[in-house]
Amino acid sequence: MDSTMKDAPPEGKGAVPVTKDVGNAEAEKFKDEANKHFGKKEYKLAIDSYSKAIEMDPNVAPYFGNRSFAYLRTEMFGAALQDATSAITLDPSYIKGYYRRAAAYMGLTKFKLALRDLEAVVKVRPNDADAKLKHQECKKIVQRLAFEKAIAVDEVKVCVSSTISVDEIDVETSYTGPRLKDDKLVTKEFLVDLLETFKRREKLHRKYAYQILLDIKAYFEKQPSLVSVNIPPESKFTVCGDIHGQFYDLVNIFSLNGLPSETNPYLFNGDFVDRGSFSVECIFTLFGFKLLLPDHFFLARGNHETETMNQMYGFEGEVKAKYSDQMAHLFTEVYNYLPLCHLLNDKVLVMHGGLFSKDDVTLDDIRKVDRNRQPPEEGLMCELLWSDPQPERGRAPSKRGVGIQFGPDVTDNFLRHNDLSYVIRSHEVKPEGYEVAHDGKCITIFSAPNYCDTMGNKGAFITMNGRDLNPSFVSYDAVPHPDVKPMAYANRLMSLFT
């Protein structure tokens, strides 16, 4: 295999066909159009054009392989998996199909299945260094997981938080960053200093980092899975979506909209970390403001506040690089206690992902969810973190491979059943940073502009007042950041595919 096989772009005009039927001219036209969109990173437009090519000629493996690649770029791992499998079914010798399917399996953290596809590639291309490297890295993950399972015992696992004594950690005289005082309370001055420290690319001392984590864990342990938020009639309230480790864009939100305060409350709706390489700075900023303003600053769990996602997409690696393994495990404990959603003035429900695979789910059902765990692959907790809206009525399997897709009728029924006005969710990149769907009853907000330095999208946040809860949207562009690429701390195997 030549070097172009390493995450090669979609097959373009003039590529050697791998199926006997190269399709008709109209299908090739749509394929070429899709390739141009892909080259411009217009992945959703590329998916639409590849789909038209497939409609014209459903017997060409690269059409499915190309669309699979575009789905991977938009993190629709379930759809990418299905297309890669279709490509392989059409042409078992289509090597890119195995690459695409392996990447999709990894996105779904199904490493054994990914390894099986990479083994197929290595068998056909034994001298391909790139394939061998990916195979070896995937094999290491599978072996590590098997080892961890083998040594696991039924005894109660000791909490990392119980093993940490902050008082025994000394602060070196050379440390010039912010310090928590003897009462250990976070102050506004501490946080302003912390932001400036992070801008200079300096670290918060581990003593204070541990203190913040222990304090925030103790706070979240006492919170319900569904948090009720009261917004006074004339008060402003801001809702932000995914941040994904883009610290300098987080600081820009505060520049545009003001620092959090009792008169300027915020809700950040999950996916604070991963992918972006300043996740540590983001999470300590957010946790610090939560401790300063517990009744005016709110945080919800996203699908990336989970152990397996953090292991693959960079947060765990970043914490280990900047602090320690112990702290990475402590973060996992803290994330398990993050609330799952928020209810604004009893009328607007805010969750990271979306709605449910069954009817008649109530707010009380959500309140009863036991969230102190890693999310399961189905059920209310999973769907709150993973589901997405669709324009069609009804429900459909998720293109992500986890959760579901839900239509406007599902949204209507849920709102009516629970006497709600609309829902806000995040979880999806949108060109303007937001999208209003389902006749205004399902709003998506995404606050990481130019996501992963590749998507070209704007970020956005929502502002409203407590009187009518009518949403207003502010979109903004990405700001410059230091020359550290996204996924810099990601698992080696995942970075090989991205």
Q: Nearest 5 degrees, angle CA 283-CA 433-CA 469?
A: 85
Tokens, residue 388: 């997405």
SS3 state at 42: coil
Residue 312 is inside which H or E element, if any? helix 307-313
Q: What are phi and psi of 73, to 5 degrees?
A: -65, -25
**Partners of 264 in the beta sheet?**
261
Q: Which residues pair with 464 in a beta bridge?
A: 237
Q: Read off the tokens for 413.
A: 């029924």
How far apart are alpha carbons 139 and 133 in whole angstroms? 10
Task: Name the residue type at position 256.
Answer: L
- What three-state secondary structure class fits 498? coil
Q: Is residue 476 classed as helix, strand or coil in its secondary structure?
A: strand
In angstroms, the Cα distances linking 187 to 106, 177, 202, 212, 282 are 42, 14, 19, 12, 17
373 and 339 in contact (C-beta within 8 Å)?
Answer: no
Catalytic residue, chosen from 135, 205, 296, 304, is 304
CA distances from 172 to 175, 205, 206, 207 (A): 6, 9, 11, 10
Tokens 């300043």 identify what position?
278
242 touches 426 (CB < 8 A): yes
Cα–Cα distance, 330 to 325 (Å, whole number): 9
**Phi and psi, residue 67, nearest 5°:** -65, -35
Of residues 300, 268, 151, 280, the one with CA closest to residue 206:
280
The yes-or-no answer on residue 304 being catalytic is: yes
CA distances for 269 relative to 33, 278, 378, angstroms: 36, 18, 21
What are 149's two structure tokens? 């399972």
- Angle in degrees, CA 289, 352, 303, rounded to 5: 90
Give the C-alpha separation, 294 to 304, whole Å: 22
Angle, CA of 496, 35 and 91, to the nearest 5°: 70
Distance separating alpha carbons of residues 119 and 251, to the nearest angstrom: 44
Terminal C-alpha separation, the chain? 19
Distance of CA 286 to the CA centre of its chain: 16
Q: Which residue has the tokens 């581990």?
A: 206
Give strand pairing partners of 434: 445
Which letter does DSSP use for residue 264 in this model?
B
Which residues are marked as active site?
Answer: 304
